[in-house]
């Protein structure tokens, strides 16, 4: 019975890792759709979002069943609680990729991004996807050092995000208010996506150490 229980715990972790891969794929495609005004990719991200929602529901159902039926304690209890919170963060990451894809679709066939900020978004997209892939590996390995390394990657996204405000508030911004609003919202989506990836990694630190690293408010999309 206990062996089956631990198999279920491991399966829960594997399901979370798969979910992290899903949202990494979603942001990778959404970023490409944004940069290339690719309607097909945008539509794929939009239609696939339901799979991420279903994955979260499955993870939470499995976690609550383990709580109710197995009454886990110590590390096992931390694993189940972390899974519930991580599934929520991963689902929000999927939503943020969805928002990016919808922006690309809304402006199609026109490009959303002025040339002036394309490189910034290309960089943010690469880092955001890398963070999600790293979170996937952290879920699988529970490597505390690897989990903590995500903080540095997140700082890079924060720096680019801050730079975007400097660009759109500058006197030489020629693209108007609508473009500035698009850039502001899209920058926020990437910044929040990265924050949620870090939150997932922090949950894995909690599983291993029993201590939740300090963090700011990362609960709102």
The confidence score (pLDDT) of residue 131 equals 98
Closest-CA residue to 151 (of 79, 55, 216) = 216
| Percentage of the chain lying above the pLDDT 70 cut | 95
Overall average pLDDT of the 199-210 stretch: 94
- Residues 187 and 76: beta-carbon distance below 8 Å: no
The confidence score (pLDDT) of residue 5 equals 79
Report pLDDT digits (tens) over 24-38: 999 999 999 999 999
The confidence score (pLDDT) of residue 214 equals 62
d(CA 150, CA 132): 9
pLDDT at residue 10 tops 80: yes
The confidence score (pLDDT) of residue 168 equals 93
- Residues 104 and 37: beta-carbon distance below 8 Å: yes
The confidence score (pLDDT) of residue 213 equals 76
Task: Name the superfamily (CATH) of residues 2-209.
Answer: Phosphate transport system protein phou homolog 2; domain 2 (1.20.58.220)
Report pLDDT digits (tens) over 172-196: 899 999 999 999 999 999 999 999 9
At residue 1 the predicted structure's pLDDT band, cuts being 50, 70 and 90, is low
pLDDT at residue 218 tops 50: no
pLDDT at residue 216 tops 90: no
What does the domain layout of the chain look like in residue ranges?
Answer: 2-209
């Amino acid at each position: 019975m206990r062996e089956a229980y631990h198999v279920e715990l491991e399966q829960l972790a594997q399901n979370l890792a798969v979910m992290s891969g899903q949202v990494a794929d979603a942001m990778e495609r959404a970023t490409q759709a944004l940069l290339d005004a690719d309607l097909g990719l945008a539509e794929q991200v939009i239609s696939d979002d339901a799979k991420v929602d279903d994955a979260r529901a499955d993870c939470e159902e499995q976690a609550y069943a383990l709580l109710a039926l197995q009454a886990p304690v110590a590390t096992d209890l931390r694993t189940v609680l972390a899974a519930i919170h991580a599934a929520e963060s991963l689902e929000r990451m999927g939503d943020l990729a969805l928002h990016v894809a919808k922006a690309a679709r809304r402006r199609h066939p026109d490009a959303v991004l002025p040339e002036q900020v394309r490189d910034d978004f290309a960089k943010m997209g690469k880092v955001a996807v890398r963070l999600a892939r790293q979170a996937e590996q952290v879920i699988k390995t529970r490597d505390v050092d690897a989990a903590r390394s995500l903080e540095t990657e997140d700082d890079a996204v924060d720096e680019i995000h801050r730079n975007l405000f400097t660009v759109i508030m500058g006197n030489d911004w020629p693209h108007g208010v609508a473009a500035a609003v698009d850039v502001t919202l899209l920058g926020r989506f990437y910044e929040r996506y990265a924050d949620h990836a870090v939150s997932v990694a922090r949950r894995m630190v909690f599983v291993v150490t029993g201590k939740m690293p300090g963090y700011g408010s990362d609960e709102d999309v």
